[in-house]
Amino acid sequence: MPPPRLTSAMTDSSLHARRARRRPCRVARTLRGPSYGAPVWLFDLDNTLHNASRAIFPAINAGMTQYIIDALGVSRDEANHLRTSYTHRYGATLLGLTRHHPIDPHDFLKVVHTFDDLHGMLHAERGLARTLAALPGRKIVLTNGPEDYAHAVLAALGIERLFERVIAIEGMRSRSHWRAKPDCAMLRGTLRRAGVALADAILIEDTRSHLKRYRRLGIRTVWITGHLPAHLPATGRPHYVDRRIRSLKSLKPGLQSGRSK
């Protein structure tokens, strides 16, 4: 399908944002840079700390499509196309919607991430809290999802107390512009504000495009594949992945290059 048409609502700033997103991350001047010594684990949320493929993602996708139909008055096919193409282009459907359409971003985030039976929809590794607690160093959640949803998931999994902070999509904004992974300026600014040196950061993610862009900043990368849906590749180890794991149980303090199944 062709990408969505540019609309009259597309502004100079949105064009600038598109160009910025297509540019590769500027390589860090020194890949090791200043370091405070201890590792800082940056955990993605969905399909990293829990399995979102089974129930949560299908529900979020259905909710987003319905929201777009209701808000924009488009067909289901067009709504599905906008949802997927905006995720591909901007890293999050929300960013495309806010740039091209007059929607209420907070209402959108709340409506599509609120579930009556969140507990029943969650699936995670056995012993998750124990696994995370045994990992030395600071732990931060870095998610393109909204704050309330992220906190609700962490609380339901019984692991909220193990994280120093949650950086959700509301906290990635720059001035009035929404940002999301894999925006490089966003990550640099976010880590600076959190007092995290790039050389100490280890990103654990299921989304390879995020790992690929952020590896150029000099952070270390772990690709977790255990929750990926069957149609996505989960083999091999791309050059920008320091370690491939299936389970968080494979995380070890001394991160070394190599594979782990």
Binding residues for Mg ion, rule: CB under 5 A, are 44, 46-47, 206
Closest separation in Å from C-beta 227 to Mg ion: 8
Nearer to Mg ion, 87 or 98 (CB): 87
CA dihedral 55, 41, 166, 18 (to 10 degrees): -80
Other CB atoms within 10 A of residue 234 CB: 16
Distance CA 86, CA 98 (A): 10
Coil, strand or helix: which one is 139? strand
Nearer to Mg ion, 14 or 53 (CB): 53
State residue 150 phi and psi, 5-degree precision. -60, -45
Nearer to Mg ion, 150 or 198 (CB): 150
State residue 169 phi and psi, 5-degree precision. -65, -30
Identify which of 111, 108, 90, 107 has the alpha carbon closest to the alpha carbon of residue 99: 90
Amino acid identity of residue 148, one-letter, is D
Closest separation in Å from C-beta 207 to Mg ion: 5
Residue 19: partners with Cβ closer than 8 Å, 6 or more residues away? none
Distance CA 71, CA 59 (A): 18
Closest separation in Å from C-beta 19 to Mg ion: 25
Nearer to Mg ion, 44 or 125 (CB): 44
Nearer to Mg ion, 17 or 49 (CB): 49
Closest separation in Å from C-beta 189 to Mg ion: 21
Distance CA 146, CA 90 (A): 16
Buried b (16+ CB within 10 A) or exposed e, 70-98: ebbebeeebbbbbbebbbebbbbbbbbbb
Nearer to Mg ion, 47 or 87 (CB): 47
Closest separation in Å from C-beta 159 to Mg ion: 16
Closest separation in Å from C-beta 93 to Mg ion: 14
Nearer to Mg ion, 47 or 65 (CB): 47
Closest separation in Å from C-beta 12 to Mg ion: 31
